[in-house]
Structure 1
Amino acid sequence: MKQSIRIILLLVSLATITTIKAQQTQPSKDSVIQLFGVVMTADSLRGVPSASVVVLGKGRGTITNNDGIFSIAVLKGDRIMFSSIGFKEKIIDIPTNLTDNQYSVIQLLVNDTTYLPATILKPRPSREQFERDFVNTRVPDDAYEIARQNTNEAARRILLATLPADGKEAVNYQLRQQATKAYYAGQTAPMNILNPFAWADFIKAWKRGDFKSKQ
């Protein structure tokens, strides 16, 4: 009997602790504050459009309108960050001792000045200067050798014969074959042995050495 009473008291205690923690984690209606105001430049007092108003650590926020005006629901004690491109960030804390459910601010943002390295502007070179520099430019020997290899006719023929066709070439070849088959459906396809253009291509390929054995 005593053991049953102890178990019941333990369950009641756990339920009470869980209820208290839930009440602590959930904000009460009195802690919700309507934050509104305007974000302006500190030097000219102009509204900053599309400025970010973010509640830090909560993943919530809003942006100002074209006049820099904003409005967002926050909690007492929240930290609010104001930021915009070209201005320094500003963070404020919502007071915890507010008696009203509204809080207005006029937030001024200071320009964030970025100093870039000096840029030297030179006049456009004349045609004579360009030709002189182009002719006197030294090109490494390896670049010359790569250019010779890329323009070598024998190397290009070897690459053409050995490299496999990619997907686009294979599909185009298959489509051409299907088109030819559909075009000559129901009749005898012409033979290239009687085609003078095919003979001309064959003679050119034979002169180039395309039919020689590659070792």
Structure 2
Amino acid sequence: MQHKRSYILTLLIIIGFLFSPFLLKAQIAEFRDSVIQIQGITMTADSLRAVPGVSIMVKGQGRGTISNRSGVFSIVVFKGDTLSFTAIGFKHKNFKIPPDIKGNTFSMIQLMVEDTTYLPVTVIKPYPSREEFERSFVNLAPDDAYEVARKNTNNAHLRALARYLPADGREGVNNYLNQQARNLYYAGQPPPQNIMNPFAWAQFIQAWKRGDFKRKDTDNF
């Protein structure tokens, strides 16, 4: 009896090994048939304009893609999956891939309906109450044009701005071009030394008086 059971078990194992390639091929064929590539375009429903930047996610799987500037997208999914289309300013859309669709490619046009969002009215007030506004308006003493021009051209104010404000784009370009011009002017020879130049000494003394060489506060660095 024990010998008969061992014989049957061995026979089943042999049959399994013989038919395993066919089973594997059938599973691969079934897997290939269930995969489908979706190629489509997202457009507005009223004017058929391309909608770029639409997020296309496979529902429940956490993966997806985004339509390009022309609204075109491409994604590989399984038959029966649901695609979720979301974009700012448009209503949310879902599209379920038919499970019995034929072939492994599918083209679609997803129409997006514009969604208008109404925000609550917000009133911005510079003062907490009307009484505070009236008191500030009565006590307001605006500067005239001469006083405004005087404050804008104050030497101390201009020096402070020149010292602490970074150079803008035009100043940076000018400094770079001036440096390149100096390098090209003395190309092939050493540049002159300004140790005996009285104008350079005058500029150095003026910079020293202005405090350009003082040590700046580095607590914020």
Q: TM-score, structure 2 length as denominator? A: 0.46
TM-score of the pair, normalised by structure 1: 0.48
